[in-house]
Amino acid sequence: MQRQRRGGKGAGLTLKIETEPPRKRSLLPSSRFIRRSARHAFPKIRMSKKAALILTFFAGQGAVQLLSVIFGLTVVRLLTVEAYAQFSLALGFQITLGSLMDLGYAGTIVPLVGERFADPNVVGAYVAAAKHHRDRIFFLLSPIAAVCFFALAYKHHWSWHIQLLLVASVLIQLYFGGRASYYSAPLMLRRDLRKLYRPQVLSALLKCVAPLPMRVIGALNGWSAALLNAVAQVYNSIRLRRSSLPYIVEPRQSDPSVNREMMQYVMPAMPAVIFSAFQGQISLYLITLFGKTVSMAQVAALGRVGQMFSVLLAFNVVLLEPRFARLPREELLRRYMQMVGLVSVFCAILTILSFCFPLPLLWLLGPQYKGLGREIGWVVLGYSLYYMASVIWIMNRSRKWLFWSGTVIEIGLTVLAEVAFVFLRGVATTHDAILISVVGAVTILLAQSYVGIYGFAKGPRMIAGKVPAMAGQV
C-alpha cells in the first residue's frame, strides 16, 4: 500500500507500507489462542507454553482419532461380513508392509537430529536419507508383497479384479505413507502441531463423510473402502511436504555419510522391526490361514477396540520422545519411572473396566458382533500390554538405547511362546487368536523392560557418522 504526503516538510515523498497477506484459517486452535482463551476463562490460572502445546496435541490428535474411529465403525456397520474381511486383510497387510518398508527409519530422524533441529540443512539431510532407504526397499518388496497378498486371498475365492484393486490400494498407501511420516518429523521437531494435524483432520473428515453417499449409490464395498484410505494418504503426503518446506533444505541427492549413520543407528533394531511387522497382525494372519472368513472378520472388528490407544501411541511419538531425548541425565531415572507407573495404573484400570463392562464396546462394533462379549476384556488386556511396551520402547529409543541383545531376547522369547501356544492349543477360533496376541504382548513387554534396565546400566551405543553442522554445506 502506498500513501502520498502533502505539504510541509517531506512533501512529495511516497511512503510504502508493507501489509502481510491474510493467513489461512486453521481448523485447529493455535497454542497462543489456547493460552489467551484460558486467561480469559480462568484469570487466576496462567497456562504455560508446555500446557498449551499438550492441549493443542490432544485437540489435533483427538480430532484425527475420533474421526478415524467414526470411519472404522461406519465401515464395520455398512459393509457385509465378506466385504469387511476384504477391507481388513488389505488394511492389516498394509500395516505389516509399512513396518517392513520403513524398518524404523522414520523414527530415527528426531533422535539423530536432536539439538540441531534449527538448522534446515541438517534436518533436510536426514529426511533425504530416510527417503533414500525407504524408496529402495519399496521398489524391492512391492512385487513380492503383491504375490504374498494373492496367496493369502486365494483361499477365500475372491474375484481377480477385487484382489488387484486391494493390492493397488495397499501399494499406494505404502508409497505415500512413507513420505507423510518423513515430512512429519520436521514439524514435530519444531512443535508446529497445527501444520502437522491440519491435513490429517481434513482427510479423516473426508473418510467419514464419503461412505454414506457411496453406500447410497451402491459403490461401497471392500476395495472401494480400501481405496478411500489410499486417497486420504496421498492428500496427507502432499500437504505435509508443503507444510515442512520452511523447516528443511533437501539436497538433490542424499549424503552417503548420513545414509551410513542412519543405517548404523537403526541396524540393531531392524530384526525386531521386521518381526514386529508380522507380530502386530499375527492373530489376523493365523485366523486367515486356519480359521473361517467369519472369524477373520471378528478378529478384525475386535481390532477396532484398539483404536482407543491410538491417541496415546501418537502422544508417545509426538511429545514423549522429543521430551525424553532432551532430558538431562540426572532427571532421567525419576521421569522414566514416573511414566512407567502412570501408564501401568491407567492400563490396569482400563482392563478391569473392560472385563466388567464389555457391553459399551460391543455396541460400538454393531449387532453382527454381539456374541463377542467374552473376548472384549482379553482384547483390551492385550492392547494395554502392547501400549506399556511401546511407552518403554519410545523412551529407550529417545536415549539411543538400541542393542542387539534386546532384539535377540524379544524375537526369541516371543517366537518360543507363540509356537508353544500354537502346538498346545491351536488357533482355530476368534478367542484363540486373541489369546495368542496377549501372549505376544507379555513377551514384548518383558524384552523392552530388559532394554531399559540395560540402557541405564550401559548407556547409549556410540555411532560414527558425519553430518553437516552449518547451513549451506549440504
Q: Are 133 and 95 in a shared domain?
A: yes
pLDDT of residue 134: 85
What mean pLDDT is predicted for residues 64-75? 82
pLDDT, tens digit (0-9, with 9 covering 90-100), for 222-248? 888 889 989 999 999 999 998 888 888
Last residue of a domain, one of 243, 266, 289: 266
Same domain, 261 and 128: yes
Residues 232, 343, single domain; the answer is: no
250 and 303 fall within a common domain: no
Residues 424 and 446 in one domain: yes
DSSP 8-state class, residue 401: -
Contacts 24+ apart (CB under 8 A), 160-169: 162/86, 162/222, 162/223, 165/223, 165/226, 165/227, 166/86, 166/89, 166/90, 166/222, 166/223, 166/226, 167/90, 168/227, 168/230, 169/90, 169/94, 169/223, 169/226, 169/227, 169/229, 169/230
Residue 3, H or E segment: strand 2-4
**Is residue 41 situated within a structural domain?**
no
In terms of domains, do 93 and 178 share one? Answer: yes
- Whether residue 288 contacts residue 152, with contact meaning beta carbons closer than 8 Å, is answered with yes
In a domain, 236, yes or no: yes
Residue after which a domain boundary falls, among 232, 266, 300: 266
Task: Verify that 294 and 388 share a domain, yes or no.
Answer: yes
By the 8 A CB rule, do 165 and 218 touch? no
Q: Is-contact 427 291, C-beta < 8 A? A: yes
State which of 219, 236, 266 marks the end of a domain. 266
| Most confident of the ranges 92-101, 168-177, 366-375 | 168-177
State pTM to two decimals. Answer: 0.61
DSSP-H helix ranges across 104-221: 109-113, 120-154, 160-189, 193-209, 211-216
12 belongs to a structural domain? no
Check: CB of residue 148 under 8 Å from CB of residue 209.
no
The answer to whether position 19 is within a domain reads no
Query: Do the domain assignments include residue 426?
Result: yes
Q: Which grid cell sits at 43?
A: 484469570
- Residue 279 pLDDT grade (very low, low, confident, very high; cuts 50, 70, 90): low
Looking at residue 348, its pLDDT comes to 93
Answer whether residue 191 shows pLDDT above 90.
no
Question: What confidence tier does 345 reach under pLDDT thresholds 50, 70, 90?
Answer: very high
Domain that residue 286 falls in: 280-458
Give backbone dihedrals phi and psi of 310, rounded to 5 degrees, phi first: -65, -40
- Among 381, 386, 382, 392, which Cα is nearest to 339's? 392
Q: What is the mean pLDDT of residues 24-45?
A: 48
Domain co-membership, 352 together with 311: yes
Do residue 441 and residue 383 come from a single domain?
Answer: yes
Residue 161 lies in a domain: yes
Is the pLDDT confidence value at 357 over 80?
yes
Residue 40 lies in a domain: no
Orientation angle between helical segments 193-209 and 49-78, nearest 10 degrees: 20
253-266 average pLDDT score: 84
Task: Kindly state whether residue 463 falls inside one of the protein's structural domains.
Answer: no
Residues 78 and 84: their CA atoms lie apart, in Å, by 9
Mean pLDDT of 384-402: 86
Look at the chain and report how many structural domains it folds into.
Answer: 2
